[in-house]
Amino acid sequence: MVDLRALPSVDRILQTGLASEWVAFYGHPLTVDAIRITLAEVRSKYKEDRKVPEVNEILERVSEQLTRWTAASLTPVINATGVIIHTNLGRAPLSKSSIEALHAAAQGYTNLEFDLDTGKRGSRLVHAEALLKRLLDVEAALVVNNNAAAVLLVLTALAKRRAVVIARSQLVEIGGGFRVPDVMKQSGARLVEIGTTNRIHLTDYEKALQEEPVALVMRAHRSNFRIVGFTSEPELSEITEVSHQFGVPVVDDLGSGSLFDTSRFGLGHEPMVQESLSGGVDLVCFSGDKLLGGPQAGIIVGSSELVAKLKKHPLARAIRADKLCLAALSATLIHYIKDEALSEIPVWRMISAPVTDLKSRVCGWIERLGIGEPADGLSTVGGGSLPGETIPSCLLSLKVSSPNRFLSCLRSCEFPIISRVEEDRVVFDPRTVLPEQDEILLAGIHDALQRC
């Protein structure tokens, strides 16, 4: 350690060979800022211990500062939690074809709003709409940037300053404090609550429709909780029938919006988009990045007359989907059209994976690591879908001295690993670990075991 008078100047550090490399890689302004901030921190620290570090240590600190500033905060991780649609980890991973489509759209220009047949301006709305119309046999479709935006657009364009009828049991709050009543208020629509928390009757709808002019009847799927016990509510087809008798459209906010019957995989039944449409609903809103297995998007399908009004509303431009979303979503929809979604879309591969296959993977992991044991476990769908439902799984179970410290070490790996603690053991669920990530996972676990 040396005296403060020996502290090098900014210019002196810039003359070093290492600084030249920084300037070439990070640019001169950022390099100078890092040097100045590092020197200022050294001077501040000097007031306490009356000494400063050697030049080599200062250079190391500058290098670390530059690395921190230019490191991307959004980084890939391995999801070993067993939560398939993990909102905090980015929800649905994309299929190989969707990633390729996204990459192709990102690396150059596209015909996003250009009609190749006429050579004139086209519409971005046609790309995914054609696929959705074919897949779901609907009159029209519209894609926006997420499902919350889809619901907001529907309410704003079709019910501003007008009444919207909704059952009290459906005034839900989802993640991030998103509440249906607040969305209605923001849209300018007037909320008309009917029924009670646990029981809604068809006569409640009839009474509300008789008492005043109503713009919409809305149903919101309780995607992240259940009401059990003394409960009742009309069938969706009954709601649409009585609403249509009064000339009022029905909007169904499904949230997750599955296109498959989840009960075939040993889960409870998640309401399907096709069921809402067959029940007579005029518009259905659902997400692209949940059970559909695609990118973040809000999808609206149904009546061509109502969708046309949505497309013309100014808000539609503010919340429109970009070319990357449309490219990845289109590729995802094609999987369904080609009847290959179960084999190609990661979310559905995970949901349908047999426990025997998962146990085989776990045994292979244990053999490679030379530590751990298989354990019975449960996976969940997550993402506000199928609350309380679980899928049997097989876990890699590790006994470590400090589970929480080990979880921290896993998160600090070059490729972070997110796992969980169960019965004081750290467990890894292969259901949510992509097969191509196995080698990275094992290397990360080995590294964490060495460090912790």
The amino acid at 34: A
Say how far apart CA 362 and CA 394 lie, in whole Å. 7
Asked if residue 260 lies in contact with residue 55, where contact means CB atoms within 8 angstroms, the answer is no
What does the alpha-carbon distance between residue 97 and residue 294 come to, in Å, rounded to a whole number?
11
Q: How far apart are CA 83 and CA 139, in angstroms?
A: 35
What is the mean predicted confidence (pLDDT) over 423-427?
95
* 439 has a pLDDT exceeding 80: yes
Provide the percentage of residues in the chain whose pLDDT is more than 70.
94
Average pLDDT (265-274) is 91
pLDDT digits (tens, 9 = 90+) for 352-382: 999 999 999 999 999 999 999 999 999 999 8
Q: Which of 344, 366, 388 is the last residue of a domain?
A: 344
For 321-336, letters b (16+ CB in 10 Å) and e give bebebbbbbbbbbbbb
Condensed to tens digits (0 to 9), the pLDDT of residues 305-340 reads: 999 999 999 999 999 999 999 999 999 999 999 999
Q: What would the pLDDT profile of 5-41 be if each residue is shown by its tens digit?
A: 678 889 999 999 999 999 999 999 999 999 999 999 8
Residues 278 and 357 in one domain: no
Q: What gap in Å lies between CA 232 and CA 200, rounded to an integer?
A: 6
Kindly write down the DSSP assignment for every residue of 96-160, as one continuous string: HHHHHHHHHHHSS---TTEETTTTEE--TTHHHHHHHHHHHT-SEEEEES-HHHHHHHHHHHHHT
Whole-number pLDDT of residue 61: 93
**What are the phi and psi torsion angles at 163 (to 5°)?**
-85, 140
Q: pLDDT digits over 35-46, tens only?
A: 999 999 888 886
Neighbours of 3 (CB within 10 A): 10
How high is the pLDDT of residue 319?
96
Give how many domains the chain has, as a whole number: 3
Q: Which residues pair with 374 in a beta bridge?
A: 396
Q: What is the pLDDT of residue 55?
A: 85
C-alpha atoms less than 13 angstroms from C-alpha of 228 in its C-beta half-sphere = 4
Is the alpha carbon torsion for 205, 207, 209, 214 positive or negative?
negative
Range of the domain at 9: 4-69
Answer whether 343's CB lies under 8 Å from 349's CB: yes
Q: Mean pLDDT over residues 99-110, rounded?
A: 96
pTM, whole model, 2 decimals?
A: 0.90
pLDDT for res 158: 96
Identify the band that residue 173 occupies on the pLDDT scale cut at 50, 70 and 90.
low
| Domain at 119, CATH number | 3.40.640.10
What does the pLDDT read at residue 7?
A: 83
- Using an 8 Å Cβ cutoff, are 359 and 394 in contact? yes
The CATH number given to whatever domain includes residue 446 is: 3.90.1150.110
Domain match, 58 and 121 both? no
Whether residues 354 and 237 share a domain: the answer is: no
Residues 399 and 255 in one domain: no
Mark which of 295, 326, 344 sits at the end of a domain.
Answer: 344
Dist CA 2 CA 335 (whole Å): 66
Return mean pLDDT, the chain.
91
Same domain, 330 and 430: no
Q: Which of 283, 312, 344 is the last residue of a domain?
A: 344
Q: What is the pLDDT of residue 188?
A: 83
**Does the structure show a pLDDT above 70 at 177?**
no
Q: In the chain, pLDDT over 90 holds for what percent of residues?
A: 73
Q: Distance between CA atoms of 374 and 94, rounded to whole angstroms?
A: 28
Question: Are 103 and 240 contained in the same domain?
Answer: yes
H or E stretch including 375? strand 373-382
DSSP letter for each residue of 235-297: -HHHHHHHHHHTT--EEEEEET-BSS-GGGGTSPPPPBHHHHHHTT-SEEEEESSSTT-SSS-
Confidence tier at 170 by pLDDT (50, 70, 90): confident
Same domain? 167 vs 291? yes
Please say whether the beta carbons of 181 and 152 come within 8 A.
no
Q: Are residues 199 and 212 in the same domain?
A: yes
pLDDT at 50 over 90: no
Do residues 181 and 318 share a domain?
Answer: yes
d(CA 290, CA 86): 9
193-204 pLDDT, tens digit each? 887 777 888 898
Residues 221 and 109 placed together within one structural domain of the fold: yes
pLDDT for the residue numbered 1: 46
Based on the domain organization, do 386 and 246 belong to the same domain?
no
The verdict on 257 and 352 lying in the same domain is: no
- Rounded to an integer, the average pLDDT of 438-450 is 95
Give the helix, strand, coil percentages of the chain, each rounded to 5.
Answer: 50, 20, 30
Check: CB of residue 298 under 8 Å from CB of residue 144.
yes
Per-residue pLDDT at 155 exceeds 80: yes
Distance, CA of 90 to CA of 245 (rounded, Å): 42
